[in-house]
Structure 1
Amino acid sequence: MHLVDYSNESEEDDSVSPTYEQLFENSGFSTEKRPLENALGVIFNEKMNYLYPKITTNWDRNKLERVNSEIWNSYEKNRQKMWDFARKCKAKLRIMNVLQTMFPDDKLEVFCTGSTINGCCSVNSDLDISVSISNLNKIKKYIDVLFKLKKRLIQQRSELEIVFGSVEVTRAKIPIVKLKMFHRSKNPLSIDISLNNYHGVRNSCLLSAYSSIDLRLPAIVNILKLWAAKNNILSSVNGYLNSYTLVLMTIHLFQSAVNPPILPNLQHIYSDYFHKFEESEFELFGKIQNLPEMEENHMSVGELLRLWFTYYDNLRLHKIEIDIKRGTLYKCKQYPFEERSLIVDDPINGENTARCAIKMNEIEEAVSDAATRCMKGNFCLADIGISV
């Protein structure tokens, strides 16, 4: 379902797919990054209007309702449950108690980050923890502290009434302690502990806010994670996508590929709130207040899933840059010399969250295959490998 050149067709026919170049020509999308002036801070590309007849036609209403039910049932089945969240909170508390014995004179704060609190978590997912320690501001100190923490955790495991599997320190860009914790559960809890990871806290806060606005976001993300895992393209280590990128791609869809938009640009509306750096400077994970008035979008989750695959199939993923901080996407001007990757800007630090996604042929083929399958009139989740 990739784009073909319809340059000889009438431009007035909205059912005809424009070329890749036409998607950016005379549209809201731009090759230049520029400030936004509208209240919601998002740009809708009117050239994408041609997709909507395809999304809404050739779909019996009863079959659409079945797909909607499948998506919501899958979300309910796979979302993080209260018992799962509770055991993560207990694990966080135990780790905090250990840290307090190590730093009795320092101001110490421990935050859950990542999917655990961003609203898009699956049951039995990992726990990411960021530890804020005052007067600790050098990477070398981070490594030293993490090794001491590893040693202390092993020493005190009997007092903590828990059993650890492997405990290791990784010297990554953000050094972490990785461990597996067993406690009255058949499923071990994998935990990653980082120090002063303000970026992780801030992006978790932002995604949590987006998820709280509309439950269609975590419902669609749940399906995308299952689909990507089924197609073996959910592994940044192996050159594919990561969950964070899928969330950002879905937020972009909800901002710029639907009209009216489902999600606003929160960093545009609440720039002071989301641009602050230290955790202590803002109330974490509070409910977003006083959103601008938005026209309601009535698209169902089934239609949105169909749109997700069709939209990203019609865009050439390796030639675009997605930026939810500016509420739009851009046509890339430069490409890597040998390897090509999807570019999805981190809304907090601007880095490419999909920089490891270099196996673009396989990713694009999986998206195209799903787009073809979901456009069938009798489409159901089993067609893209998801059992409900």
Structure 2
Amino acid sequence: MNNNPATSYKRSYSESQSCTQPNSFKRSKFTVFLAERKASNQLECIINYIKKKETHSSRNKSNTEQLTQDIIEYYENFKQEDTSFILKQEIRNKMERIIIDIFPTASLFIIGSSNSGFSVENSDLDMCLYIPDMKEEDHRTICSNLYQIQSLFRNPNTLRSTLVIPARVPILKLVDVKNDIEVDLNINNIVGVYNTYLMKAYSYVDCRVAPLIIIVKHWAKFHNINDASKQSLNSYSLALMVLHYLQVCHPPVIPALQQRNKELFDIDNYSLQHFSDYKSLKDKLIWKSENEQSLGQLLRSFFHYYAYEFKFDTDAISVRLGAKIHRSQVNRNIPNIKYRHNQSWKYICVEEPFDKTNTAYSTYNINTFNLIKLAIIYTFKQLDLELKIGSIFHKLPV
């Protein structure tokens, strides 16, 4: 009998074309508890899940086998359901029908984790409204148009607008009252359409990608380092950090798709509609990794990499190139000079794969940066003590 956790994982999980859970990881009695999460705080839900998991977890699992099983079950319990995505598509369709009354040439795209495969249940819905012939960086016009759109959504019983946030990327916030789904709408921030397409592609090339990204996002939320408004990391940066590690580990789990499949991601040769056509995308991505490590092994190595190998003061993450590069190289690549010499490149550099800006621009506070580093190092040490999912949710010694 083959007792290698990596081999058993690959056989039971990766062989499935849809990358669904094997029979041994079908939803357990924890699902009954998790079904009530909509009415509770998500962080409390995570904590309660871990407490229950620690109570019932097997003590006979060796090495990373138990951790791998925990991650798979965690992912299956928390990931966005197909029915939820269908509901979000319906919201998108309803909004577009209303908006085209005043912007008849506009198109509405679902962007972010809801569409990339990295979303959890009850997550927000991010959308980009593309209005042709409008300058992308015309901040005043964008805000004005968002206020116009806000006036269309005044019904307190259906879609209700709440406020316009005139940030660097202006946002209109709405709520789908019936389904309690928060909606964030931007105008012409089309890089979100491009990177959602890229993220979706990475979710297709290896079925270990999505579980790792979701578990790392929940880890960051637990440690209060997943909130750009509080100068910590946004979810997109965390996803890019996971993808980067999976590209540079040996052998790589995933390739650099923008180098390997350049024709699919060439924004100069395709219309925007190309980057919302996911039907044939999976068939165009032919990749088989030689890396047979389990989810548990990869998660532990992810934390080791950022704790001891990645040098935040000199290194920058480039998923576009599939490599760790020097900060100065990233600076030379930035097309817009206003991003070259400011605080947005101060502590963590995560290159946006298309416009080459820093997705971790919000992390410019030294105390927050130190907290992020502490969380990474402390989590690795906890995993070194005990390879179980509860180890990544230990409170920091601060």
TM-score grouping bracket, smaller chain normalisation: 0.7 to 0.9
SS of aligned partner of 1:110: strand
Q: 1:337 to 1:252 in 2, by over 3 A?
A: closer
Secondary structure of 2:363's aligned partner? coil
- The CA RMSD measured in Å over matched residues stands at 2.5
Judged with a 3 Å threshold, the aligned counterparts in structure 2 of structure 1 residues 366 and 293 are, in CA distance, closer, same or farther, namely: closer
Q: Give the 5 Å matches for 1:242-321.
A: 242-257=234-249, 259-277=250-268, 278-281=271-274, 284-285=277-278, 286-291=280-285, 294-314=288-308, 315-321=310-316
User: SS at the partner of 2:167?
Assistant: coil
CA change 1:295–1:189 in 2 (3 A) is closer
CA contact (8 A) 2:344 2:358 kept: no
The answer (yes or no) to whether the contact 1:250–1:308 under 8 Å persists in 2 is yes
Q: 1:67 to 1:337 in 2, by over 3 A?
A: closer
Aligned counterparts of 2:305 and 2:132: Cα–Cα separation in 1: 46
What is the distance in 2 between the residues matched to 1:88 and 1:331? 40
Residue in structure 2 matched with residue 177 of structure 1 by the alignment: 172
Distance 2:177 2:343 in 1: 46
Note the C-alpha offset of 1:134: 2.8
Q: For residue 226 of structure 1, report the CA deviation from its aligned partner.
A: 1.2
- Determine which of 373, 380, 385 is the counterpart of 2:388: 380
TM-score, normalization by structure 2: 0.74
Q: Which amino acid aligns with 1:380?
A: K
SS in 1 for 2:240: helix
2:348 to 336, 342, 352: 342
Query: Deviations along 1:106-140, whole A, 9 cap, x unmatched?
Result: 32321100111111111111101111223333443
How far residue 89 of structure 1 moved from its aligned partner, in angstroms, is: 1.3
User: What is the CA deviation profile of residues 166-208 of structure 1, one whole-angstrom value per residue up to 9, with x for unaligned ones?
Assistant: 511111222221112211x4xx211011122211100000001
Tell me, in whole angstroms, the C-alpha distance in 2 between the residues paired with 1:283 and 1:90. Answer: 16
Q: Percent identity?
A: 26
- For 1:283 and 1:86, locate their aligned partners in 2 and report how far apart those are by CA, in whole Å: 15
Task: Give the aligned partner of residue 205 of structure 1.
Answer: 197
Could you tell me whether the CA contact under 8 Å between 1:209 and 1:287 is conserved in 2?
yes
Distance, in Å, in 1 between the alignment partners of 2:229 and 2:99 is: 30
Tell me if structure 1 keeps the 8 A contact 2:201–2:285: no
CA distance in 2 between counterparts of 1:347 and 1:368 reads 27
How far apart, in 1, do the equivalents of 2:143 and 2:389 lie?
45
User: Aligned equivalents of 1:225 and 1:381: distance in 2?
Assistant: 14
What is the CA–CA distance in structure 2 between the aligned matches of 1:288 and 1:226, rounded to whole Å?
27
Give the superposition deviation at 1:283: 5.7
Deviations 1:8-32 (A, max 9, x none): xxxxxxxxxxxxxxxxxxxxxxxxx
CA gap 1:308/1:189 in 2 versus in 1, 3 angstroms: same
Aligned partners of 1:294 and 1:85: how far apart in 2? 28
Q: Answer yes or no: is the 8 Å Cα contact 1:245–1:344 preserved in 2.
A: yes
The CA deviation string for residues 276-310 of structure 1, in whole angstroms up to 9 with x for no partner, is 15403556334244546545211000000000001
| 8 A contact 2:344–2:360 mirrored in 1 | no
Corresponding residue of 2:62: 62
Could you give the per-residue CA deviations for residues 291-344 of structure 1, whole angstroms, max 9, x where no partner exists?
465452110000000000011100333432011111111244599789941101
Q: Tell whether 2:148 aligns with 1:148.
A: yes
Mapped to 2, the partners of 1:288 and 1:83 lie a distance apart of 21
**What residue in structure 2 maps to residue 86 of structure 1?**
86
Listed as ranges, the matches of 1:26-175 within 5 Å are 62-103=62-103, 106-137=104-135, 138-154=138-154, 157=155, 162=158, 164=160, 167-175=162-170
Structure of higher RCO (CA pairs closer than 8 Å, 6+ residues apart): 1
Letter in 2 for 1:126: D
Q: Which amino acid aligns with 1:342?
A: I
Aligned partners of 2:344 and 2:363 also within 8 Å: no
Q: Hey, what does 2:187 align to over in structure 1?
A: 195
SS at match of 1:317: coil
Amino acid at match of 1:284: D
Q: Secondary structure at the match of 2:143?
A: helix
Higher helix residue share: 2
Which stretch of structure 1 is more off in the superposition, 201-210 or 144-153?
Answer: 144-153
| Structure-2 separation of matches of 1:293 and 1:82 | 25
> 1:304 and 1:292 mapped to 2: Cα distance?
22
Please give the TM-score of this superposition, normalised by the length of structure 1: 0.76
Question: What SS is found at the alignment partner of 1:296?
Answer: coil
Amino acid paired to 2:75: Y
CA deviations on 1:19-49 (whole Å, 9 max, x unpaired) are xxxxxxxxxxxxxxxxxxxxxxxxxxxxxxx
Number of residue pairs the alignment of both structures matches: 317
Aligned 8 A contact 1:340 1:360 in 2: no
